[in-house]
Amino acid sequence: MEAAWDQATILRSADDHRAWPVLAERIAAAPAIYGTGELRGTVALICGAMDQIGAGRLGGEDLGDRLTATLMDKVGQWAETEMVERSDLPMVRQVVRVVFEGRDPVAWRDQAGPVPDSEPRVMTCALELIADFVDRVDGPGACEHGLLTALGDALD
């Protein structure tokens, strides 16, 4: 999860290049250490960030449809920069839908088949956009704080 958040942090701090060297080292090591576990961490963080905006709650279907459409448009913009592959967008859409349905997206993704090399990048872009949305609504650092609090609660 730490590597997954580091990747999102790099995207979120594109203007702050001072943090990149340390984060880049951790990110470069993540696939060798964690393999597909890196993607599992990203999907878990997407779920946690979306929980902060009410995903999976009764009556959230309309919000889910609107957020999913907006998210897909924004993630699709990353495809124009060749950061992500358009072929990975349906997987992001389905992970988001699973969260809004109140199901476990990590378990769902585990059962969805092999992970292409390009998929972690698109999931990271989605995480970055969702975290940015949470921070715009709840204030700077709110998403990270919420994720750390939820993780701490889960460990207790």
| Of 16-25, 77-86, 130-139, highest mean pLDDT | 130-139
Residue 23 confidence class, pLDDT cut points 50, 70, 90: low
42 vs 96: CA distance, rounded Å? 12
pLDDT digits (tens, 9 = 90+) for 69-118: 888 898 888 777 777 788 999 999 999 999 988 899 999 999 998 888 78
> What is residue 28's predicted lDDT score, i.e. its pLDDT?
59
Buried b (16+ CB within 10 A) or exposed e, 79-114: beeeebeeebbebbbebbbbbbeeeebbebbeeeee
What pTM value is reported for the model? 0.82
Residue 9 confidence class, pLDDT cut points 50, 70, 90: confident
Residue 140 confidence class, pLDDT cut points 50, 70, 90: very high
Calculate what percentage of the chain has a pLDDT beyond 90.
32
Domain coverage including residue 94: 2-155
pLDDT digits (tens, 9 = 90+) for 118-130: 888 888 889 999 9
Local structure of 104: helix, strand or coil = coil
Tell me which amino acid residue 36 is. Answer: T
Domain count, the chain: 1
Mean pLDDT of the chain: 82
